[in-house]
Chain A
Amino acid sequence: MTRIFLVVATVISAAYALWPLPTDFSTGTAALTLASDFHIDISAIPNPPQDLLDAISRTKGYLQTDQLEALVVDRGASYNQSLQNASSLVSLVLSYDSGVAGEPTSISEEAIDDIDSRVEGYTLTVPEDGSAATIKANSTLGLFRGLTTFGQLWYDLNNTTYTIEAPIAITDSPVFPYRGFMLDTSRNYFPVSDILRTLDAMSWVKMTTFHWHMVDSQSFPLEVPEFPELSLNGAYGPSLVYSTNDVQTIVSYANARGIDVLPEIDTPGHTAIIAQAYPEHVACPGATPWATYANEPPAGQLRFANANTTNFTASLISSVSARFPGKYFSTGGDELNTECYAIDESTQADLNTTGKTLEQALDTFTQTVQSVLEDSGKTPVVWEEMVLDFNLTLSNNTIVMVWISSADAAAVADKGFRLVQAPSDYFYLDCGAGGWVGANPSGNSWCDPFKTWQYAYSFDPVANLTDAQAKLVIGGEHLLWTEQSHASNLDSIVWPRAAASAELFWSGPGGNIKNSVFPDVPRLHDVAFRMTQRGVGAIALQPLWCALRPGVCDLTA
């Protein structure tokens, strides 16, 4: 794995606020203000896609409304004099590099391209003399990434929008193509507006994948027109459902922001709620004590040894996946409980009839479900147990998510699968919130302690991998399991922490946590404060006293 980390910097710039850090950039020390008639010029782009036009208007909106004061003790007051004399930037010109010809493709189309074919690179220049700034890219998605960077350059002082670091020159592209965030909408329900707000925040730190863990044992909030009973009986309530229109809204919103949606229907475990509509397909529903039959209440798993259940599951996956334009679909596969099947007479009868072991039956089930996906052009995604715990015949194309431990990545790579780093010991955002199971006062979070942004940031995505295996790592993601969260604490649990992996997988590992030139804490403060200005409730990582004094609250201070 190439670890690209080329900082071409000429000044120490504590206020510099780019996140993720561009792979190659330089800045100056000149003040530059944004002209009141500043505009973004796309005259060089014939027939610009609508989602690019929308991205341009959002960018101009942020430039107007961010109103972010520089995170320095005087909040930028001392820049006043130099701003009086500064040049003014009137325009930003977007253009494709010379290689692009014909009708441009949209951000939305490029965002769901094959993950190894996406082009996100761009170059950005902001001259100090007030002549036009430029963003150039080989793709519309690249232009969009450049706009996102441009939006992070500016501060506000008495209604003047400015930078004190002109001229700026950036050449940037990501190290890893998969940079994700996972949200569980089953343990607790999240309104569509919460998801859209989360997608906005993801786009600001250049994430590419919304991994949507839609359903689980506790609720089935997804409307599936072919199987309406699933949400009718399994959602928390009639208004706590993602309708087909809602899904379309979310997918369009994500794609227009450069984000692919990876839907997950977790099977065959984590499916107790299906019993509310289809009791015949579920083994040990509500079995007690739940701790024997499930990792958390309620118990209940699909009867995968049963041919009808297998066909039902394949139809369900087919119905759902057809409504998502992305090429990737997760069938889950984590935490199968074998005790549940041992007491399920129906499963035991099926196994006896077919003469299969549980593992052989799972293999048949998995192959059936995977072939439905592959027949419709989708690439299956699974949790690591499907590779490490069971001997299954999976498509070579399968992408495996490593979650139990970061130490498991090497074993998955040994088997030759591409993998996404989602290790609980670094990227689980729910860890450290204490035990949530009732009547258990001394219970602790199973994955205690809390994973701080800086701990997550220290993750090495290619640890213990050979150079050849490292190529199998397509990226990683932060994850939020929602036993203890919903709309009230979504933003505060996720942001700005999830930005840690966004930078790790864009800029490359081995980042600059101890680098005195571009230390991370002040940049991450900046992201958090800008998110808050944009309506995302990112939390304070430190007292404001520290946020205004870069490095002073470091352990090495």
Chain B
Amino acid sequence: MPLFITAIVLALSAIPCCLSIWPIPRSLDSGNQILKLSGSFDISINFTNPPQDLLDAVTRTKYSIQTDQLGRLTVGRGSSDSTAFGSAKTLRTLMLALEQSASTAQPIATEAVVALDARDEGYSLSVPLDGSAGVVSANTTLGLLRGLSTFEQLWYTYDGTIYTNYAPLTIVNDSPAYAYRGFMLDTARNFFSVSDIKRTLDAMYLVKINTFHWHITDSQSWPIQVVQFPELAQAGAYSTNQSYTPNDIQDVVTYAGERGIDVLVEIDTPGHTAIIGASHPEYVACYLSDWITFAGEPPAGQLRLADASVANFTAAVLAAVAETLPSTMFSTGGDELDTACYAADGPTQMMLNESGRTLFEALDIFTSTTHGALHALGKTAVVWEEMVLEYNTTTLRNDTIVMVWISSDDAAAVVQKGYRIVHAPSNYFYLDCGAGEWIGNDPTGNSWCDPFKTWQESYTFNPLANISSAQVSLVLGGEQLLWTEQSGPENLDSIVWPRAASSAEIFWTGDTLPDGFDRVGNISEALPRLHDVRYRMVQRGIKAIRLQPEWCALRPQVCDG
């Protein structure tokens, strides 16, 4: 009979060298020796006039390394490492080096919003064993930032000593497999404060997520104050305190940009817009009608898309918001149009009759109006998959980015039509699934997308399933999403983290681990690293949940199936 202690020792010997980095770099060569961090450790920059947001990032990294105070996740929490502290060398300096001419150094926030196909997040990192300076080198300040987030994850604390046990470590040209790695938050079903969003952005930074997809409005509330259309939030926000001022929006965008995160704002149209009826009832069909007949969820109400004045109003609202944002992308939504609503709407039927158009022909014109306004501002439109797969929209520009959400099976069909896609499939990446029915008076109702999507189910998602090699370049990446019918500030962190880190690794690391092995095939290797980044998040004030009993977290693979 194996003794308890034997099982632990066997498990320890199976731990791969580099437990702590998430997402794991695409290139990695590391040792297993102890290197301490000097009490006077500093980060230097090898070029003059570095942008302020890089200096701020350096300050944050130094602060995090001091304050993480994370004990290594092993029985004893690092006590066995301490015996080597006496003979270990000490790291005093990390140098940040731009490989291009320093005169081209741009703020991180500028590089974070460069068009996806031109964004450069690559970096190299070396941490020598002998205590000589570590180096992060990159072509861009954005790349340097990614190197800093890797460097931060190397360090543990035991009894006041900050150390890594992965020295020496060399990462050469780590760069993401996919350009788009996102997280979506719905701030309309329930409201989230700017501080909740910033905390989320901090966690996203840690795992190198580069896009905050902000589903900012929906049928339930309109929390964004639009200067030219103040009535929308006045009538549509849950309260003045539960709305985002223009300053709030800029605050979030700036905070995100400094952390290498682009903000993709979505104003979902023409469906999911009932709340516009609170200020403009004339623009909304079947406003507050029976939701079971006219909407996927309460309340019912959609923009009267066949009405030219509604299209012009919508284009003006979208432009008013988009022109304040640095991102090259803006989402007009386009999911879940309820055709029964329009069939029952007298004004819509009258306009269709007068123009001789079908509903979808009218939608085509509506979309060309709204997208035209965005294009005039230099923005690339982003839409949900129905705009391509169900509504036969013909006027979409070729550069439109399509989000696949209904099923992962739909990705191939969208790519077939030549559009770039973002994977956001409900059957892998919806964080709200599995929480039961939220509609009242329905005791036996279940979550529509049951069951819960565990981190490991998400982790097995294959971004290239049924995608031909010629179409691979159309796959921009993917994101996990939180629809917030059943969440608010109280459970934001616990629903999102660490699960949303799953897709962050899929789309950074790609199919293959740095040692050449298949990433999904070695999912046992992933869990200890995910525990690690989860415990680090908690040290930073993000309420990521336990994935297992702590007994398991301290004993890699022992609780595997």
Q: Which residues of A contact B (CB under 8 A)?
A: 75, 186-189, 217-219, 236-237, 272-273, 275-276, 279, 284-288, 290-291, 296-298, 300, 343-345, 432-445, 448-452, 454-455, 457-458, 482-489, 491-493, 513-514, 519, 521, 532, 537-546, 548, 551-557
Nearest first, the 9 closest Cβ-Cβ pairs linking A and B are A434-B454, A452-B436, A440-B561, A492-B491, A286-B4, A489-B494, A545-B220, A218-B551, A488-B543
A445 to B435, CA, bound (A): 12
The reply to whether A432 and B490 contact each other, CB–CB distance below 8 Å, is: no
- B52 at the A interface (CB under 8 A): no
Partner of A218, one of B220, B484, B527, B550: B550
A555 to B445, CA, bound (A): 10
Q: List 9 A-B contacts (CB under 8 A).
A: A272-B4, A288-B2, A296-B559, A298-B7, A435-B454, A438-B524, A449-B451, A451-B436, A483-B548
Given A489-B543, A552-B298: A443 in contact with B561 (beta carbons within 8 A): yes
The reply to whether B457 and A434 contact each other, CB–CB distance below 8 Å, is: yes
By a CB distance below 8 angstroms, the chain B residues around A484 are 545-548
A555 to B457, CA, bound (A): 31
Nearest B residue (CB) for A492: B491
A300 to B457, CA, bound (A): 29
The reply to whether A542 and B438 contact each other, CB–CB distance below 8 Å, is: yes
The reply to whether A542 and B559 contact each other, CB–CB distance below 8 Å, is: no
The reply to whether A489 and B491 contact each other, CB–CB distance below 8 Å, is: yes
The reply to whether A440 and B441 contact each other, CB–CB distance below 8 Å, is: no
Interface range for B: 35 or more
Given A432-B452, A437-B559, A519-B441: A237 in contact with B77 (beta carbons within 8 A): yes
The reply to whether B444 and A455 contact each other, CB–CB distance below 8 Å, is: yes
The reply to whether A540 and B486 contact each other, CB–CB distance below 8 Å, is: yes
In the complex, the number of residue pairs spanning A and B with C-beta atoms less than 8 Å apart equals 265
By a CB distance below 8 angstroms, the chain A residues around B447 are 432, 449-450
A468 to B238, CA, bound (A): 52
The reply to whether B486 and A541 contact each other, CB–CB distance below 8 Å, is: yes
Residue-wise interface mask of B (69-88) relative to A, using a CB-CB cutoff of 8 A (1 in contact, 0 not)? 00000000100000000000
The reply to whether A543 and B190 contact each other, CB–CB distance below 8 Å, is: yes
By a CB distance below 8 angstroms, the chain B residues around A555 are 292, 439-442, 445
- B434 at the A interface (CB under 8 A): yes
B-side interface mostly: loop
Partner of B1, one of A343, A436, A483, A538: A343
Given A298-B551, A441-B459, A546-B298: A488 in contact with B442 (beta carbons within 8 A): no
Nearest B residue (CB) for A544: B238
By a CB distance below 8 angstroms, the chain B residues around A544 are 189-191, 220-221, 238, 242
The reply to whether B490 and A540 contact each other, CB–CB distance below 8 Å, is: yes
By a CB distance below 8 angstroms, the chain B residues around A272 are 4
By a CB distance below 8 angstroms, the chain B residues around A448 are 434, 450-452
The reply to whether B441 and A514 contact each other, CB–CB distance below 8 Å, is: yes
Distance from A309 Cβ to chain B, minimum over Cβ atoms (Å):
16
By a CB distance below 8 angstroms, the chain A residues around B495 are 492
The reply to whether A433 and B452 contact each other, CB–CB distance below 8 Å, is: yes
- B516 at the A interface (CB under 8 A): no
Given A445-B451, A449-B450, A540-B190: A438 in contact with B557 (beta carbons within 8 A): yes
Given A297-B559, A343-B1, A432-B436: A439 in contact with B451 (beta carbons within 8 A): no
The reply to whether A449 and B486 contact each other, CB–CB distance below 8 Å, is: no
Interface set, chain B 182-198, CB cutoff 8 A to A: 188-191
By a CB distance below 8 angstroms, the chain A residues around B8 are 286
Partner of A432, one of B434, B439, B491, B545: B434
Nearest B residue (CB) for A448: B451
A344 to B554, CA, bound (A): 26
By a CB distance below 8 angstroms, the chain A residues around B291 are 553, 557
The reply to whether A449 and B434 contact each other, CB–CB distance below 8 Å, is: yes
Given A297-B552, A555-B440, A555-B441: A286 in contact with B3 (beta carbons within 8 A): yes
The reply to whether B457 and A439 contact each other, CB–CB distance below 8 Å, is: no
Nearest A residue (CB) for B548: A436
A436 to B299, CA, bound (A): 36
The reply to whether A532 and B290 contact each other, CB–CB distance below 8 Å, is: no
The reply to whether A434 and B527 contact each other, CB–CB distance below 8 Å, is: no
The reply to whether A557 and B298 contact each other, CB–CB distance below 8 Å, is: yes
By a CB distance below 8 angstroms, the chain A residues around B456 are 435, 438-441, 443
By a CB distance below 8 angstroms, the chain B residues around A551 are 440
The reply to whether A443 and B440 contact each other, CB–CB distance below 8 Å, is: no
By a CB distance below 8 angstroms, the chain B residues around A440 are 456, 560-561
By a CB distance below 8 angstroms, the chain B residues around A532 are 490
A508 to B69, CA, bound (A): 50
Known: A449-B450, A546-B298. 19 other contacts (CB 8 A): A188-B550, A279-B4, A298-B558, A432-B450, A434-B434, A434-B451, A434-B452, A438-B559, A439-B561, A440-B561, A450-B446, A452-B443, A484-B547, A484-B548, A489-B543, A532-B490, A539-B491, A542-B440, A553-B291
- B6 at the A interface (CB under 8 A): yes
The reply to whether A432 and B4 contact each other, CB–CB distance below 8 Å, is: no
Partner of B549, one of A290, A451, A483: A483
A219 to B8, CA, bound (A): 15
The reply to whether B4 and A275 contact each other, CB–CB distance below 8 Å, is: yes
- B538 at the A interface (CB under 8 A): yes
Nearest A residue (CB) for B531: A438
